[in-house]
Amino acid sequence: MFKRNTFAAIFLFLAFITVPRAQTASNWIDAHRPAAQRLIAESQRTDFAWQRLAEVTDTFGPRLSGSEALERAIDWAVAEMKKDGLDNVHKEPVMVPKWVRGRESLELITPIRQPLPLLGLGNSVGTPAAGLESDVIVVSSMDELKARAADVKGRIVLFNVLFTNYGATVVYRATGPSEAAKLGAIAVLVRSVGPTGLRTPHTGSLTYADGVPKIPGAAISAEDADRFARLQTRGVKIRVKLSMEAHFDADSQSYNVVGDLTGRELPKEIVVLGGHFDSWDPGAGASDDAGGCVVTWEALRLMKVLNLRPKRTVRVVLFTNEENGGRGGAGYRDAHTAELPNHVAMLESDGGVFDPSGFGFTGSDAARATVTTIAGLLTSLGANRIGPTGGGADISPSATAAKIPMLSHEVAGDYFLIHHTAADTIARITPKQMSDNAAAIAVMAYVIAEVGIAK
């Protein structure tokens, strides 16, 4: 009995010292803590990221696809990346749609004459030159629209649908015009997709169904949508005049902007970061998405400043035409098809730059475990949560094609209050928020580029 126990103890001891143990946070992540701390400290040391965002939005303003402002901003970004010392900085051509808003107005005729704020929906057709004047029917769902089909023909339909979340509510903006047109409506108004604000309409794209008449679509404020609903409930006739010059010109030449920090050992393996550089035209596109572009770009600049060159290449991409076409994301996929299998991960920042909260992640369980461990380095920033799914409109085409793990930069803030509105300016973003978000992205990207993650 004594000998059996002794031999067993010796065997266990030898096994303990000779068999590799599974990696844990304590035996691999600690090697990256000094670099993480340096990146965070350097980012928080100055307001460089906020000042760069201010320069973008102050100098170029809104950057709608096909506009001169977007192309000037793209050329500026190329020059600035070169000043930062990034590698392989260049533009990659993408043809984009050129939708022109033109002049637009909405006037309440009955029960009282009054101009109302509105924003035409992106990709909408315009009205006749004389405008459209008609009675308004208010519905709160697609089911109610169908139930009142007999009342729709020749009228303007208002979808007054309360905002719950973006995914559930945006369908009315995207498909509402075609659904109403099937029943004979001549135009559609939608309650803005976002929380009730300060009577601010929200724009955004609509999508016309094939084989259905294209009718104008526009957004009004939540306050005015509720007013119309109350008038209808009281049996009061609502009549408006809608005028929109919206139209498409021929497709226009645009570009994705690409800059690299070349990896020191595995330069052909790539971690991509980025956001979309185009924006809607009412505001300055600060949160959506110049801020996302700047904080991902800043991650590379921080590594460069600190001479922290990871094993793998870290790439920033400023995508064009996310808002009303998605051609920048598709263009990157098509231009880099041969090297997509060497992409280790792709991270998109397109949810605002408020207080950082972490990252969403889509990938293998093993990769999730690695990313979760890395996120532990971000506890001081409040950015250590890893959510159930990650992705983004610009990285999804490439990631889907090559099964690349995806991360989405996540924040805590009332993003949809200002989303696609005139209120999307840098006034809603603090220097600390820019610095903290850039730091979180820099740490996550640096460590992924150092250790890699399983697909």
**Residues forming the active site:** 322
Strands (E) located in 207-348: 217-220, 239-244, 247-261, 266-276, 312-319, 343-348
* Preceding omega of 115 cis (within 30 degrees of 0): no
| DSSP conformational letter for 122 | B
CA 117 centroid distance within chain: 26
> Is the CB of residue 120 less than 8 Å from the CB of residue 104?
yes
Following CA atoms 218, 220, 224, 228 in sequence, which dihedral angle do they give, to the nearest 10 degrees?
Answer: 20
* Token pair recorded at residue 43: 């980012």
Nearest-angstrom CA–CA distance, 366 and 364: 5
Counting every residue written for the chain, the total comes to 455
> Is the CB of residue 56 less than 8 Å from the CB of residue 73?
yes
Nearest-angstrom CA–CA distance, 5 and 268: 53
> Is the CB of residue 233 less than 8 Å from the CB of residue 150?
no
* Token pair recorded at residue 271: 């971690």
What is the Rg, in whole angstroms, of the alpha carbon atoms belonging to the chain?
A: 26
Nearest-angstrom CA–CA distance, 330 and 337: 10
* Token pair recorded at residue 324: 């009303």
Please name which of 414, 430, 125, 123 lies closest in space to residue 280, comparing C-alpha atoms: 123
**Continuous segment of H or E residues that includes residue 120:** strand 118-120
Helices 291-305 and 68-84: crossing angle, nearest 10°? 10
> Is the CB of residue 158 less than 8 Å from the CB of residue 242?
no
> Is the CB of residue 413 less than 8 Å from the CB of residue 352?
yes
> Is the CB of residue 346 less than 8 Å from the CB of residue 316?
no
**Exposure of 83 in the CB half-sphere (CA atoms within 13 A):** 8
Residue 77 exposed, middle or buried by CB count within 10 Å (0-12, 13-18, 19+): buried
Q: Give the SS3 label for residue 83.
A: helix
